[in-house]
Amino acid sequence: MQVTLIQNAAGRVVAANLAALDARLMNEEPADLIVLPEVFAIRGNDGDLREAAEPLNGRQVTWLADTARRHKAWVLGGSILERAGERIFNTTVLVDRSGKVAATYRKMHLFEAVLESGVIVRERDVYEAGDHPVMAGIEGWSCGLSICYDVRFPELYRVYAKRGASLLLIPSNFTQNTGKCHWETLVRARAIENQCFVVAPNQCGINSATGVASYGHSLIVGPWGDVLAEGGPEETTLRATLDKAEVERVRARVPALKHRRSMLES
């Protein structure tokens, strides 16, 4: 599978962000899967996010579908702000090559932290949490879906591994302060302990409405924990070819998934 990862720095205007992504994708090489970060189309304050929330048939999902058809690729919209009645969810949307929505996943774990600056980031002020894991099939690959803060909860990814996942997708908007300490360690750990490929696109740059910086340093990691591609602090594009046979080789080399004790299952 040929994967293209886009690391962007979204601003407060959805239309402008989507236009910038169109321009970047225009000259990209063909890919089987294009992956975008969490909230790829909008960063702002809580009011901006609420205003941008829309149903799954809104302009952001329409753009994802159009992009998939134009590039003849699967597209993972890292997350959109999904409005469902009075509720808002942080939702990953996966569309196939024809532009059809193949899967959606509502972020289960909502981030909360007091940053060094004293700024409090608390996603539950805007979002409600999803309540179940979601797997998706991408042309023979079994994929586990997740978003950002989920990466701190290894039990979610063990569920995916037990259900046969060979690829874990972790679109993110990891902050600068936590990212420099934890990001690579967490992403590589999820790959190593589940012996899966991990594709983790992250936002970069500063949120102009809040002043909170995103870390960037997007990652594509192999099932041995090896870093196949890594971004820096600026907008960038990463590419990698994933070979499912490598998952099988790693699991045969160290069959750790078979050695888990039954007393730990509950």
Instruction: Clarify whether 244 is annotated catalytic.
Output: no
Rounded CA-CA distance 244/259 in Å is 21
CB 33 within 8 A of CB 94: no
Q: How many CA atoms lie within 13 A of 7 on its CB side?
A: 26
> How distant, in Å, are the alpha carbons of 58, 122, 157 from that of 187?
31, 22, 11
CB 157 within 8 A of CB 144: yes
Instruction: Clarify whether 148 is annotated catalytic.
Output: yes
Pairing state between β 33-35 and 135-138: unpaired
Catalytic residue among 107, 143, 196, 204: 107
Q: How many CA atoms lie within 13 A of 69 on its CB side?
A: 9
Following DSSP, what letter does each residue of 129-173 receive, concatenated? ---S--EEEETTEEEEE--GGGGG-HHHHHHHHHTT-SEEE--B-
Catalytic residue among 143, 148, 196, 204: 148
From the list 112, 226, 219, the residue with the least C-alpha distance to 171 is 219
Instruction: Clarify whether 181 is annotated catalytic.
Output: no
Catalytic residue among 38, 82, 123, 204: 38
Which positions are catalytic?
38, 107, 148
